[in-house]
Structure 1
Amino acid sequence: MHFKDINFIIIGAGKSASTWLQKQLQSDPEVYMPDPELHYFSRNYSRGDEWYLSQFKDAGVGQTVGEKSNSYLYAPDAAAHIHDRMPHVRLIAQLRNPVERAYSNYCMLFQRGEVGPDIESYLDPSQGGGNKLLISGHFASHLQTYIDLFGREKLLILFFEGVLDDPEGQMSQVRTHLDLPPHPLAPEGWSKTKDKSAPNVPAHWKKRLGWMKPIVRPLRGTATFETARGWIASETQYPPLTDDLRKRLNDYYGPSIEALEQISGQSLSHWYGSMDEPGGMTA
Protein backbone atom coordinates (compact mmCIF):
# COMPACT_ATOMS: atom_id res chain seq x y z
CA MET A 1 0.00 0.00 0.00
CA HIS A 2 1.23 3.46 -0.94
CA PHE A 3 -0.19 6.92 -0.29
CA LYS A 4 -1.21 7.16 -3.95
CA ASP A 5 -3.53 4.16 -3.41
CA ILE A 6 -5.65 5.97 -0.80
CA ASN A 7 -8.57 7.64 -2.52
CA PHE A 8 -10.53 9.56 0.11
CA ILE A 9 -10.73 10.79 3.69
CA ILE A 10 -13.78 11.72 5.75
CA ILE A 11 -12.40 14.63 7.81
CA GLY A 12 -15.42 15.19 10.11
CA ALA A 13 -17.23 16.69 11.76
CA GLY A 14 -17.60 14.99 15.12
CA LYS A 15 -21.17 14.42 16.38
CA SER A 16 -22.47 14.83 12.82
CA ALA A 17 -23.28 11.20 11.84
CA SER A 18 -19.95 10.69 10.10
CA THR A 19 -19.93 7.13 11.49
CA TRP A 20 -23.12 6.56 9.48
CA LEU A 21 -21.24 7.53 6.33
CA GLN A 22 -18.45 5.13 7.23
CA LYS A 23 -20.86 2.22 7.81
CA GLN A 24 -22.60 2.86 4.51
CA LEU A 25 -19.33 2.86 2.60
CA GLN A 26 -18.02 -0.20 4.44
CA SER A 27 -21.14 -2.12 3.38
CA ASP A 28 -19.99 -1.84 -0.24
CA PRO A 29 -17.53 -4.59 -1.28
CA GLU A 30 -15.92 -2.11 -3.66
CA VAL A 31 -14.78 0.05 -0.73
CA TYR A 32 -12.20 -0.57 1.98
CA MET A 33 -12.05 1.47 5.20
CA PRO A 34 -10.39 0.43 8.47
CA ASP A 35 -12.79 0.37 11.41
CA PRO A 36 -11.02 2.62 13.93
CA GLU A 37 -10.41 6.31 13.43
CA LEU A 38 -6.68 6.46 12.77
CA HIS A 39 -6.11 10.14 13.71
CA TYR A 40 -2.69 9.78 12.10
CA PHE A 41 -2.39 13.28 10.65
CA SER A 42 -3.61 14.88 13.90
CA ARG A 43 -2.72 12.85 17.00
CA ASN A 44 -0.57 9.91 15.88
CA TYR A 45 1.81 11.53 13.40
CA SER A 46 4.81 10.40 15.44
CA ARG A 47 4.00 6.76 14.62
CA GLY A 48 5.30 7.26 11.12
CA ASP A 49 4.08 6.63 7.60
CA GLU A 50 4.74 2.89 7.75
CA TRP A 51 2.32 2.52 10.65
CA TYR A 52 -0.35 4.51 8.83
CA LEU A 53 -0.08 2.59 5.57
CA SER A 54 -0.16 -0.72 7.44
CA GLN A 55 -3.71 0.08 8.52
CA PHE A 56 -4.80 -0.53 4.91
CA LYS A 57 -2.96 -3.81 4.38
CA ASP A 58 -6.21 -5.76 3.99
CA ALA A 59 -7.49 -3.62 1.12
CA GLY A 60 -8.17 -5.65 -2.01
CA VAL A 61 -7.02 -4.96 -5.55
CA GLY A 62 -9.29 -2.46 -7.25
CA GLN A 63 -11.08 -1.36 -4.08
CA THR A 64 -11.67 2.33 -3.39
CA VAL A 65 -9.68 2.98 -0.19
CA GLY A 66 -10.28 5.59 2.48
CA GLU A 67 -10.51 6.38 6.16
CA LYS A 68 -12.44 8.55 8.62
CA SER A 69 -10.89 10.64 11.39
CA ASN A 70 -13.01 13.50 12.70
CA SER A 71 -10.04 15.20 14.34
CA TYR A 72 -8.61 16.08 10.92
CA LEU A 73 -11.13 18.89 10.51
CA TYR A 74 -9.95 20.71 13.63
CA ALA A 75 -6.29 19.81 14.13
CA PRO A 76 -4.10 22.77 13.10
CA ASP A 77 -1.57 20.82 11.02
CA ALA A 78 -3.72 17.96 9.73
CA ALA A 79 -4.58 19.53 6.36
CA ALA A 80 -0.92 20.29 5.60
CA HIS A 81 0.18 16.79 6.65
CA ILE A 82 -2.46 15.19 4.43
CA HIS A 83 -1.65 17.39 1.45
CA ASP A 84 2.05 16.68 1.80
CA ARG A 85 1.41 12.94 1.42
CA MET A 86 -1.79 12.83 -0.67
CA PRO A 87 -2.48 15.96 -2.72
CA HIS A 88 -4.75 13.80 -4.91
CA VAL A 89 -7.07 12.60 -2.14
CA ARG A 90 -10.78 13.46 -2.16
CA LEU A 91 -12.26 14.89 1.01
CA ILE A 92 -15.69 14.60 2.63
CA ALA A 93 -16.99 16.78 5.46
CA GLN A 94 -20.42 16.20 6.99
CA LEU A 95 -21.44 19.08 9.23
CA ARG A 96 -24.09 19.81 11.82
CA ASN A 97 -25.62 22.94 13.32
CA PRO A 98 -22.67 24.05 15.50
CA VAL A 99 -24.97 24.78 18.45
CA GLU A 100 -26.45 21.29 18.33
CA ARG A 101 -23.02 19.76 17.77
CA ALA A 102 -21.54 21.57 20.78
CA TYR A 103 -24.40 20.50 23.04
CA SER A 104 -24.23 16.90 21.80
CA ASN A 105 -20.48 16.85 22.45
CA TYR A 106 -21.02 18.31 25.91
CA CYS A 107 -23.61 15.61 26.70
CA MET A 108 -21.20 12.88 25.62
CA LEU A 109 -18.46 14.26 27.87
CA PHE A 110 -20.95 14.72 30.72
CA GLN A 111 -22.04 11.09 30.44
CA ARG A 112 -18.37 10.05 30.62
CA GLY A 113 -17.81 12.18 33.70
CA GLU A 114 -15.29 14.43 31.91
CA VAL A 115 -17.27 17.67 32.38
CA GLY A 116 -19.46 18.90 35.22
CA PRO A 117 -23.13 19.94 35.36
CA ASP A 118 -22.42 23.68 35.07
CA ILE A 119 -23.14 23.76 31.34
CA GLU A 120 -22.54 27.50 30.99
CA SER A 121 -18.94 27.18 32.09
CA TYR A 122 -18.38 25.01 29.01
CA LEU A 123 -20.80 26.40 26.42
CA ASP A 124 -21.25 30.08 27.25
CA PRO A 125 -19.10 31.91 24.66
CA SER A 126 -18.37 34.69 27.14
CA GLN A 127 -16.84 32.15 29.54
CA GLY A 128 -15.48 29.44 27.29
CA GLY A 129 -15.16 30.94 23.82
CA GLY A 130 -11.65 29.57 23.49
CA ASN A 131 -12.36 25.98 24.46
CA LYS A 132 -12.39 23.06 22.06
CA LEU A 133 -16.12 22.43 22.47
CA LEU A 134 -16.85 25.78 20.84
CA ILE A 135 -13.86 26.25 18.51
CA SER A 136 -14.68 22.96 16.76
CA GLY A 137 -17.90 24.49 15.42
CA HIS A 138 -16.20 27.18 13.34
CA PHE A 139 -16.51 25.00 10.26
CA ALA A 140 -15.88 27.67 7.65
CA SER A 141 -12.39 28.53 8.85
CA HIS A 142 -11.47 24.85 9.25
CA LEU A 143 -12.69 24.01 5.75
CA GLN A 144 -11.00 27.03 4.20
CA THR A 145 -7.64 25.57 5.18
CA TYR A 146 -8.41 22.46 3.14
CA ILE A 147 -9.80 24.46 0.22
CA ASP A 148 -6.65 26.60 0.08
CA LEU A 149 -4.52 23.45 -0.20
CA PHE A 150 -6.66 21.02 -2.20
CA GLY A 151 -9.08 23.25 -4.11
CA ARG A 152 -12.84 23.38 -3.68
CA GLU A 153 -13.55 20.61 -6.20
CA LYS A 154 -11.88 17.93 -4.06
CA LEU A 155 -14.08 18.73 -1.03
CA LEU A 156 -17.65 17.44 -0.70
CA ILE A 157 -19.61 19.32 1.98
CA LEU A 158 -22.63 17.51 3.38
CA PHE A 159 -25.00 18.28 6.23
CA PHE A 160 -26.45 16.22 9.08
CA GLU A 161 -30.01 16.91 7.93
CA GLY A 162 -29.38 14.95 4.74
CA VAL A 163 -28.93 11.75 6.76
CA LEU A 164 -32.28 12.27 8.46
CA ASP A 165 -34.31 13.59 5.52
CA ASP A 166 -32.84 11.90 2.44
CA PRO A 167 -30.25 9.23 3.26
CA GLU A 168 -30.33 7.81 -0.28
CA GLY A 169 -29.66 11.24 -1.73
CA GLN A 170 -26.88 11.82 0.79
CA MET A 171 -25.08 8.65 -0.18
CA SER A 172 -25.67 9.33 -3.87
CA GLN A 173 -23.66 12.53 -3.49
CA VAL A 174 -20.89 10.64 -1.70
CA ARG A 175 -20.73 7.91 -4.32
CA THR A 176 -20.68 10.41 -7.18
CA HIS A 177 -17.84 12.30 -5.46
CA LEU A 178 -15.86 9.06 -5.17
CA ASP A 179 -16.73 7.77 -8.68
CA LEU A 180 -18.56 4.79 -7.21
CA PRO A 181 -21.55 3.12 -8.88
CA PRO A 182 -24.95 3.04 -7.09
CA HIS A 183 -25.29 0.75 -4.07
CA PRO A 184 -28.25 0.17 -1.73
CA LEU A 185 -28.19 1.56 1.78
CA ALA A 186 -27.03 -0.78 4.50
CA PRO A 187 -29.90 -1.81 6.84
CA GLU A 188 -28.12 -0.43 9.90
CA GLY A 189 -28.15 2.97 8.24
CA TRP A 190 -31.79 3.38 9.16
CA SER A 191 -31.26 2.95 12.91
CA LYS A 192 -30.24 5.55 15.45
CA THR A 193 -26.72 5.36 16.85
CA LYS A 194 -25.33 6.38 20.20
CA ASP A 195 -28.76 7.15 21.65
CA LYS A 196 -28.19 9.55 24.55
CA SER A 197 -31.51 8.54 26.14
CA ALA A 198 -30.42 4.90 26.50
CA PRO A 199 -29.46 3.73 30.02
CA ASN A 200 -25.76 4.10 30.77
CA VAL A 201 -23.46 3.02 33.54
CA PRO A 202 -22.71 6.14 35.64
CA ALA A 203 -19.21 7.55 35.22
CA HIS A 204 -18.18 6.88 38.82
CA TRP A 205 -19.10 3.20 38.43
CA LYS A 206 -17.16 2.98 35.16
CA LYS A 207 -14.05 4.19 36.97
CA ARG A 208 -14.51 1.76 39.84
CA LEU A 209 -15.17 -1.21 37.58
CA GLY A 210 -12.65 -0.37 34.88
CA TRP A 211 -10.37 -3.19 35.96
CA MET A 212 -13.10 -5.71 35.05
CA LYS A 213 -13.34 -4.75 31.37
CA PRO A 214 -10.99 -7.48 30.04
CA ILE A 215 -12.80 -10.07 32.17
CA VAL A 216 -16.36 -9.27 31.12
CA ARG A 217 -15.66 -8.37 27.49
CA PRO A 218 -16.41 -11.95 26.24
CA LEU A 219 -19.78 -11.80 28.03
CA ARG A 220 -21.03 -8.63 26.32
CA GLY A 221 -24.43 -9.15 24.70
CA THR A 222 -25.30 -12.20 26.77
CA ALA A 223 -28.39 -12.26 28.99
CA THR A 224 -26.23 -12.53 32.10
CA PHE A 225 -24.15 -9.49 31.19
CA GLU A 226 -27.15 -7.33 30.27
CA THR A 227 -28.97 -8.28 33.48
CA ALA A 228 -25.96 -7.34 35.61
CA ARG A 229 -25.50 -4.10 33.66
CA GLY A 230 -29.16 -3.27 34.19
CA TRP A 231 -28.65 -3.24 37.95
CA ILE A 232 -26.41 -0.17 37.78
CA ALA A 233 -27.28 1.46 34.44
CA SER A 234 -29.70 4.37 34.41
CA GLU A 235 -30.85 7.08 32.01
CA THR A 236 -28.49 10.03 32.24
CA GLN A 237 -30.12 13.32 33.16
CA TYR A 238 -28.29 15.88 31.04
CA PRO A 239 -28.17 19.57 31.98
CA PRO A 240 -30.55 21.30 29.56
CA LEU A 241 -29.55 23.85 26.97
CA THR A 242 -31.67 26.84 27.89
CA ASP A 243 -33.22 29.17 25.32
CA ASP A 244 -31.01 31.99 26.58
CA LEU A 245 -27.80 29.99 26.21
CA ARG A 246 -28.89 28.76 22.80
CA LYS A 247 -29.42 32.36 21.67
CA ARG A 248 -25.94 33.33 22.85
CA LEU A 249 -24.48 30.41 20.92
CA ASN A 250 -26.46 31.32 17.80
CA ASP A 251 -25.08 34.86 18.01
CA TYR A 252 -21.57 33.53 18.58
CA TYR A 253 -21.69 31.22 15.54
CA GLY A 254 -23.61 33.62 13.28
CA PRO A 255 -20.63 35.00 11.31
CA SER A 256 -19.16 31.51 10.93
CA ILE A 257 -22.45 30.13 9.60
CA GLU A 258 -22.67 32.97 7.08
CA ALA A 259 -19.15 32.18 5.88
CA LEU A 260 -20.07 28.50 5.57
CA GLU A 261 -23.07 29.43 3.43
CA GLN A 262 -20.68 31.17 1.05
CA ILE A 263 -18.32 28.19 0.92
CA SER A 264 -21.03 25.55 0.53
CA GLY A 265 -23.43 27.53 -1.66
CA GLN A 266 -26.34 26.43 0.54
CA SER A 267 -28.66 28.36 2.82
CA LEU A 268 -28.32 27.40 6.48
CA SER A 269 -31.07 29.61 7.88
CA HIS A 270 -32.77 26.53 9.34
CA TRP A 271 -29.87 26.15 11.76
CA TYR A 272 -31.43 28.88 13.84
CA GLY A 273 -34.43 26.65 14.57
CA SER A 274 -35.10 24.24 17.42
CA MET A 275 -32.55 21.94 18.98
CA ASP A 276 -32.44 18.18 18.43
CA GLU A 277 -33.94 15.99 21.12
CA PRO A 278 -31.27 14.29 23.28
CA GLY A 279 -32.07 10.87 21.80
CA GLY A 280 -31.19 11.69 18.19
CA MET A 281 -28.51 10.30 15.93
CA THR A 282 -25.16 11.60 17.15
CA ALA A 283 -22.52 9.50 15.43
Structure 2
Amino acid sequence: MQFDNIDFVIIGAAKSATTWLQTQLQSDPAVYMPDPELHYFSREYDRGEEWYLSQFSDEGAGRIVGEKSNSYLYMPEAPARLHRHLPHVKLIVQLRNPVERAYSNYCMLFRRGEVGVDIGNYLDPSLGENLRFLVGGNFASHLQSYVDIFGREALLILLFEGVLDDPETQMSRVRTHLGLPPRRLAPSGQNKVKDRTVPVVPAGLRKRLAWMKPIARPLRGTAAFQAVRNLVARETRYPPLTDDLRNRLNDYYRPSIELLENMSGHSLSHWYGPVGRAQQEMADADGFARINYLGEGAAI
Protein backbone atom coordinates (compact mmCIF):
# COMPACT_ATOMS: atom_id res chain seq x y z
CA MET A 1 0.00 0.00 0.00
CA GLN A 2 1.21 3.50 -0.92
CA PHE A 3 -0.13 6.92 0.03
CA ASP A 4 -1.41 7.34 -3.54
CA ASN A 5 -3.68 4.33 -3.01
CA ILE A 6 -5.59 5.92 -0.11
CA ASP A 7 -8.69 7.64 -1.46
CA PHE A 8 -10.63 9.05 1.51
CA VAL A 9 -10.46 9.81 5.22
CA ILE A 10 -13.31 10.24 7.70
CA ILE A 11 -11.96 12.93 10.06
CA GLY A 12 -14.72 13.03 12.69
CA ALA A 13 -16.55 14.04 14.70
CA ALA A 14 -16.43 11.94 17.85
CA LYS A 15 -19.83 10.90 19.27
CA SER A 16 -21.47 11.50 15.86
CA ALA A 17 -22.12 7.98 14.48
CA THR A 18 -18.95 7.88 12.36
CA THR A 19 -18.60 4.18 13.17
CA TRP A 20 -21.95 3.73 11.44
CA LEU A 21 -20.46 5.35 8.32
CA GLN A 22 -17.48 3.06 8.53
CA THR A 23 -19.64 -0.05 8.96
CA GLN A 24 -21.74 0.89 5.95
CA LEU A 25 -18.70 1.47 3.76
CA GLN A 26 -16.99 -1.72 4.91
CA SER A 27 -20.10 -3.70 3.88
CA ASP A 28 -19.35 -2.77 0.24
CA PRO A 29 -16.93 -5.20 -1.48
CA ALA A 30 -15.62 -2.25 -3.51
CA VAL A 31 -14.36 -0.47 -0.35
CA TYR A 32 -11.53 -1.32 2.01
CA MET A 33 -11.01 0.27 5.45
CA PRO A 34 -8.94 -1.05 8.37
CA ASP A 35 -11.06 -1.56 11.49
CA PRO A 36 -9.17 0.44 14.13
CA GLU A 37 -8.83 4.20 14.19
CA LEU A 38 -5.18 4.74 13.25
CA HIS A 39 -4.79 8.34 14.53
CA TYR A 40 -1.58 8.55 12.52
CA PHE A 41 -1.84 12.18 11.43
CA SER A 42 -2.76 13.25 14.97
CA ARG A 43 -1.39 11.13 17.84
CA GLU A 44 0.82 8.53 16.13
CA TYR A 45 2.78 10.57 13.59
CA ASP A 46 6.09 9.71 15.23
CA ARG A 47 5.59 6.06 14.30
CA GLY A 48 6.49 6.96 10.73
CA GLU A 49 5.17 6.33 7.24
CA GLU A 50 6.07 2.64 7.16
CA TRP A 51 3.97 1.95 10.26
CA TYR A 52 0.97 3.81 8.85
CA LEU A 53 1.02 2.10 5.47
CA SER A 54 1.47 -1.29 7.14
CA GLN A 55 -1.98 -0.86 8.73
CA PHE A 56 -3.55 -1.31 5.27
CA SER A 57 -3.47 -4.92 4.11
CA ASP A 58 -3.23 -6.23 0.55
CA GLU A 59 -7.01 -6.64 0.63
CA GLY A 60 -7.23 -3.02 -0.47
CA ALA A 61 -5.71 -3.70 -3.88
CA GLY A 62 -8.07 -2.56 -6.63
CA ARG A 63 -10.61 -1.14 -4.16
CA ILE A 64 -11.54 2.30 -2.85
CA VAL A 65 -9.37 2.66 0.26
CA GLY A 66 -9.97 4.85 3.29
CA GLU A 67 -9.65 5.15 7.03
CA LYS A 68 -11.47 6.79 9.96
CA SER A 69 -9.82 8.64 12.83
CA ASN A 70 -12.01 11.11 14.71
CA SER A 71 -9.01 12.80 16.30
CA TYR A 72 -8.05 14.31 12.94
CA LEU A 73 -10.78 16.93 13.33
CA TYR A 74 -9.38 18.27 16.59
CA MET A 75 -5.60 18.03 16.30
CA PRO A 76 -4.23 21.32 14.87
CA GLU A 77 -1.34 19.56 13.10
CA ALA A 78 -3.54 16.99 11.33
CA PRO A 79 -4.73 18.99 8.27
CA ALA A 80 -1.20 19.94 7.13
CA ARG A 81 0.10 16.43 7.78
CA LEU A 82 -2.76 14.88 5.84
CA HIS A 83 -2.18 17.21 2.91
CA ARG A 84 1.57 16.55 2.94
CA HIS A 85 1.02 12.83 2.38
CA LEU A 86 -2.50 12.68 0.88
CA PRO A 87 -3.10 15.91 -1.11
CA HIS A 88 -5.57 14.07 -3.35
CA VAL A 89 -7.69 12.56 -0.58
CA LYS A 90 -11.43 13.12 -0.22
CA LEU A 91 -12.55 14.10 3.27
CA ILE A 92 -15.76 13.26 5.12
CA VAL A 93 -16.94 14.74 8.41
CA GLN A 94 -20.18 13.96 10.24
CA LEU A 95 -21.21 16.49 12.88
CA ARG A 96 -23.67 16.47 15.74
CA ASN A 97 -25.35 19.19 17.74
CA PRO A 98 -22.34 20.18 19.89
CA VAL A 99 -24.45 20.36 23.06
CA GLU A 100 -25.70 16.81 22.57
CA ARG A 101 -22.20 15.67 21.59
CA ALA A 102 -20.71 17.14 24.77
CA TYR A 103 -23.39 15.54 26.93
CA SER A 104 -22.94 12.18 25.21
CA ASN A 105 -19.20 12.37 25.84
CA TYR A 106 -19.83 13.19 29.49
CA CYS A 107 -22.26 10.26 29.84
CA MET A 108 -19.75 7.85 28.31
CA LEU A 109 -17.06 8.90 30.78
CA PHE A 110 -19.53 8.93 33.67
CA ARG A 111 -20.49 5.35 32.86
CA ARG A 112 -16.80 4.45 32.91
CA GLY A 113 -16.30 6.15 36.27
CA GLU A 114 -13.87 8.73 34.84
CA VAL A 115 -15.94 11.82 35.74
CA GLY A 116 -18.07 12.74 38.75
CA VAL A 117 -21.75 13.52 39.23
CA ASP A 118 -21.31 17.33 39.18
CA ILE A 119 -21.92 17.76 35.47
CA GLY A 120 -21.34 21.51 35.63
CA ASN A 121 -17.68 20.99 36.48
CA TYR A 122 -17.23 19.53 33.00
CA LEU A 123 -19.85 21.17 30.77
CA ASP A 124 -20.44 24.67 32.18
CA PRO A 125 -18.73 27.12 29.79
CA SER A 126 -18.80 29.85 32.47
CA LEU A 127 -16.12 27.85 34.33
CA GLY A 128 -13.79 27.94 31.33
CA GLU A 129 -13.44 26.29 27.94
CA ASN A 130 -12.92 22.68 28.95
CA LEU A 131 -10.72 21.28 26.20
CA ARG A 132 -11.98 17.72 26.48
CA PHE A 133 -15.71 18.46 26.51
CA LEU A 134 -16.36 21.89 25.00
CA VAL A 135 -13.69 23.01 22.55
CA GLY A 136 -14.17 19.92 20.41
CA GLY A 137 -17.67 21.12 19.51
CA ASN A 138 -16.41 24.32 17.87
CA PHE A 139 -16.58 22.58 14.53
CA ALA A 140 -16.23 25.60 12.26
CA SER A 141 -12.80 26.56 13.57
CA HIS A 142 -11.57 22.95 13.30
CA LEU A 143 -12.84 22.59 9.73
CA GLN A 144 -11.55 25.93 8.50
CA SER A 145 -7.98 24.58 8.35
CA TYR A 146 -9.12 21.72 6.13
CA VAL A 147 -11.01 24.09 3.85
CA ASP A 148 -8.01 26.41 3.62
CA ILE A 149 -5.62 23.59 2.75
CA PHE A 150 -7.72 21.14 0.71
CA GLY A 151 -10.45 23.41 -0.66
CA ARG A 152 -14.13 23.21 0.15
CA GLU A 153 -14.90 20.76 -2.66
CA ALA A 154 -12.76 18.03 -1.08
CA LEU A 155 -14.83 18.07 2.15
CA LEU A 156 -18.24 16.44 2.54
CA ILE A 157 -20.03 17.80 5.62
CA LEU A 158 -22.79 15.57 7.00
CA LEU A 159 -25.09 15.91 9.99
CA PHE A 160 -25.83 13.28 12.63
CA GLU A 161 -29.55 13.83 12.07
CA GLY A 162 -29.18 12.38 8.59
CA VAL A 163 -28.33 9.00 10.09
CA LEU A 164 -31.42 9.09 12.29
CA ASP A 165 -33.89 10.57 9.81
CA ASP A 166 -32.85 9.29 6.38
CA PRO A 167 -29.88 6.93 6.45
CA GLU A 168 -30.37 5.90 2.80
CA THR A 169 -29.92 9.47 1.62
CA GLN A 170 -27.02 9.99 4.02
CA MET A 171 -25.08 7.09 2.54
CA SER A 172 -26.06 8.11 -0.99
CA ARG A 173 -24.29 11.43 -0.41
CA VAL A 174 -21.21 9.62 0.88
CA ARG A 175 -21.13 7.28 -2.08
CA THR A 176 -21.54 10.12 -4.57
CA HIS A 177 -18.67 12.01 -2.90
CA LEU A 178 -16.44 8.93 -3.23
CA GLY A 179 -17.50 8.13 -6.79
CA LEU A 180 -19.22 4.89 -5.80
CA PRO A 181 -22.41 3.64 -7.49
CA PRO A 182 -25.69 3.49 -5.54
CA ARG A 183 -26.09 0.64 -3.06
CA ARG A 184 -28.67 -0.33 -0.45
CA LEU A 185 -27.85 0.02 3.22
CA ALA A 186 -26.31 -2.92 4.99
CA PRO A 187 -28.86 -4.58 7.33
CA SER A 188 -27.04 -3.29 10.41
CA GLY A 189 -27.81 0.23 9.25
CA GLN A 190 -31.48 -0.31 9.96
CA ASN A 191 -31.01 -0.95 13.68
CA LYS A 192 -30.32 1.02 16.82
CA VAL A 193 -27.26 -0.85 18.00
CA LYS A 194 -26.34 0.89 21.21
CA ASP A 195 -28.59 2.05 24.00
CA ARG A 196 -26.85 3.80 26.88
CA THR A 197 -29.59 2.61 29.22
CA VAL A 198 -28.39 -0.99 28.86
CA PRO A 199 -27.25 -2.22 32.31
CA VAL A 200 -23.47 -2.24 32.85
CA VAL A 201 -21.22 -3.43 35.63
CA PRO A 202 -20.57 -0.40 37.90
CA ALA A 203 -17.20 1.25 37.28
CA GLY A 204 -15.92 0.70 40.82
CA LEU A 205 -16.71 -2.99 40.69
CA ARG A 206 -15.12 -3.31 37.24
CA LYS A 207 -11.87 -1.90 38.64
CA ARG A 208 -11.90 -4.31 41.56
CA LEU A 209 -12.51 -7.25 39.22
CA ALA A 210 -9.98 -6.18 36.58
CA TRP A 211 -7.64 -8.98 37.61
CA MET A 212 -10.26 -11.49 36.45
CA LYS A 213 -10.39 -10.27 32.83
CA PRO A 214 -7.93 -12.84 31.43
CA ILE A 215 -9.88 -15.60 33.16
CA ALA A 216 -13.31 -14.38 32.08
CA ARG A 217 -12.41 -13.48 28.48
CA PRO A 218 -12.84 -17.04 27.06
CA LEU A 219 -16.27 -17.23 28.74
CA ARG A 220 -17.70 -14.10 27.12
CA GLY A 221 -20.84 -14.80 25.15
CA THR A 222 -21.71 -17.93 27.08
CA ALA A 223 -24.93 -18.31 29.03
CA ALA A 224 -23.01 -18.78 32.28
CA PHE A 225 -21.03 -15.57 31.79
CA GLN A 226 -24.19 -13.59 30.97
CA ALA A 227 -26.02 -15.00 33.99
CA VAL A 228 -23.24 -13.89 36.34
CA ARG A 229 -23.01 -10.48 34.66
CA ASN A 230 -26.76 -9.95 35.02
CA LEU A 231 -26.42 -10.37 38.79
CA VAL A 232 -24.11 -7.36 39.12
CA ALA A 233 -25.00 -5.15 36.13
CA ARG A 234 -27.01 -2.02 36.87
CA GLU A 235 -28.71 0.61 34.72
CA THR A 236 -26.65 3.78 34.84
CA ARG A 237 -28.51 6.85 36.08
CA TYR A 238 -26.92 9.82 34.39
CA PRO A 239 -26.91 13.33 35.86
CA PRO A 240 -29.36 15.30 33.67
CA LEU A 241 -28.48 18.12 31.35
CA THR A 242 -30.60 20.84 32.96
CA ASP A 243 -32.36 23.58 30.98
CA ASP A 244 -30.10 26.19 32.56
CA LEU A 245 -26.90 24.37 31.58
CA ARG A 246 -28.26 23.61 28.11
CA ASN A 247 -29.03 27.31 27.58
CA ARG A 248 -25.50 28.29 28.60
CA LEU A 249 -24.09 25.72 26.20
CA ASN A 250 -26.38 26.98 23.43
CA ASP A 251 -25.09 30.51 23.98
CA TYR A 252 -21.49 29.29 24.01
CA TYR A 253 -21.81 27.35 20.74
CA ARG A 254 -24.08 29.72 18.82
CA PRO A 255 -21.31 31.81 17.15
CA SER A 256 -19.56 28.63 16.04
CA ILE A 257 -22.80 27.13 14.73
CA GLU A 258 -23.52 30.25 12.70
CA LEU A 259 -20.06 30.06 11.12
CA LEU A 260 -20.66 26.39 10.37
CA GLU A 261 -23.94 27.24 8.65
CA ASN A 262 -22.08 29.50 6.21
CA MET A 263 -19.39 26.91 5.63
CA SER A 264 -21.64 23.88 5.20
CA GLY A 265 -24.76 25.29 3.57
CA HIS A 266 -26.86 23.47 6.18
CA SER A 267 -29.46 25.34 8.22
CA LEU A 268 -28.54 24.63 11.84
CA SER A 269 -30.89 26.85 13.81
CA HIS A 270 -32.52 23.71 15.24
CA TRP A 271 -29.29 23.04 17.12
CA TYR A 272 -29.89 25.98 19.45
CA GLY A 273 -33.60 26.70 18.95
CA PRO A 274 -36.81 25.13 20.30
CA VAL A 275 -36.40 21.97 18.22
CA GLY A 276 -32.94 21.40 19.64
CA ARG A 277 -34.19 21.86 23.18
CA ALA A 278 -37.03 19.45 22.48
CA GLN A 279 -34.50 16.65 22.12
CA GLN A 280 -34.00 16.81 25.87
CA GLU A 281 -37.67 15.94 26.29
CA MET A 282 -36.69 12.45 25.16
CA ALA A 283 -35.40 11.98 28.70
CA ASP A 284 -37.53 9.96 31.09
CA ALA A 285 -39.50 11.23 34.09
CA ASP A 286 -36.42 11.03 36.32
CA GLY A 287 -34.51 13.31 33.99
CA PHE A 288 -31.95 10.74 32.87
CA ALA A 289 -31.27 10.36 29.15
CA ARG A 290 -32.99 7.49 27.39
CA ILE A 291 -31.80 8.12 23.84
CA ASN A 292 -30.80 5.35 21.42
CA TYR A 293 -27.91 5.97 19.06
CA LEU A 294 -27.04 4.36 15.75
CA GLY A 295 -23.79 2.66 14.96
CA GLU A 296 -21.37 3.83 17.65
CA GLY A 297 -20.93 0.44 19.28
CA ALA A 298 -19.07 0.59 22.54
CA ALA A 299 -17.87 4.08 21.76
CA ILE A 300 -21.05 5.82 22.92
After TM superposition, the score normalised by the length of structure 2 is: 0.92
1:259-270 mapped onto 2 (5 Å cutoff): 259-270=259-270
Instruction: Report whether the alignment pairs 1:44 with 2:44.
Output: yes
C-alpha displacement at 1:214, in angstroms? 2.4
Q: Which residue of 2 aligns with 1:96?
A: 96
Secondary structure of 2:65 counterpart: strand
- C-alpha distance after superposition, 1:118-148 (max 9, x if no partner): 0001000011423221000000000001111
In structure 2, distance between residues paired with 1:174 and 1:153:
13
Secondary structure of 1:214 counterpart: helix
How many residue pairs match? The answer is 283
Classify 1:58/1:209 alpha carbon distance in 2 versus 1 (closer, same or farther; 3 Å).
Answer: farther
How many percent of aligned residue pairs carry the same amino acid?
69
Match of 1:275 among 279, 284, 289: 279
Instruction: Check whether the contact 1:122–1:128 (CA below 8 A) recurs between aligned residues.
Output: no
Q: Which residue of 2 aligns with 1:166?
A: 166
Instruction: Check whether the contact 1:117–1:239 (CA below 8 A) recurs between aligned residues.
Output: yes
Instruction: Check whether the contact 1:121–1:128 (CA below 8 A) recurs between aligned residues.
Output: no
Secondary structure of 1:87 counterpart: coil
Secondary structure of 2:93 counterpart: strand
Residue 59 of structure 1 aligns with an amino acid whose one-letter code is: E
1:105-116 mapped onto 2 (5 Å cutoff): 105-116=105-116
Classify 1:128/1:209 alpha carbon distance in 2 versus 1 (closer, same or farther; 3 Å).
Answer: farther
Show structure 1 runs of 4+ deviating over 6 A.
none
In structure 2, distance between residues paired with 1:193 and 1:73:
25
In structure 2, distance between residues paired with 1:152 and 1:241:
35
In structure 2, distance between residues paired with 1:71 and 1:245:
26
In structure 2, distance between residues paired with 1:39 and 1:216:
30
Residue 97 of structure 1 aligns with an amino acid whose one-letter code is: N
1:10-159 mapped onto 2 (5 Å cutoff): 10-159=10-159
Instruction: Check whether the contact 1:128–1:134 (CA below 8 A) recurs between aligned residues.
Output: no
In structure 2, distance between residues paired with 1:69 and 1:214:
28
Secondary structure of 2:53 counterpart: helix
C-alpha displacement at 1:219, in angstroms? 1.8
Classify 1:205/1:186 alpha carbon distance in 2 versus 1 (closer, same or farther; 3 Å).
Answer: same
1:243-254 mapped onto 2 (5 Å cutoff): 243-254=243-254
C-alpha displacement at 1:77, in angstroms? 0.7
In structure 2, distance between residues paired with 1:7 and 1:271:
32
Residue 220 of structure 1 aligns with an amino acid whose one-letter code is: R
In structure 2, distance between residues paired with 1:71 and 1:17:
14
Q: Where in structure 1 are there 5+ consecutive unaligned residues?
A: none
Residue 29 of structure 1 aligns with an amino acid whose one-letter code is: P
C-alpha displacement at 1:14, in angstroms? 0.5
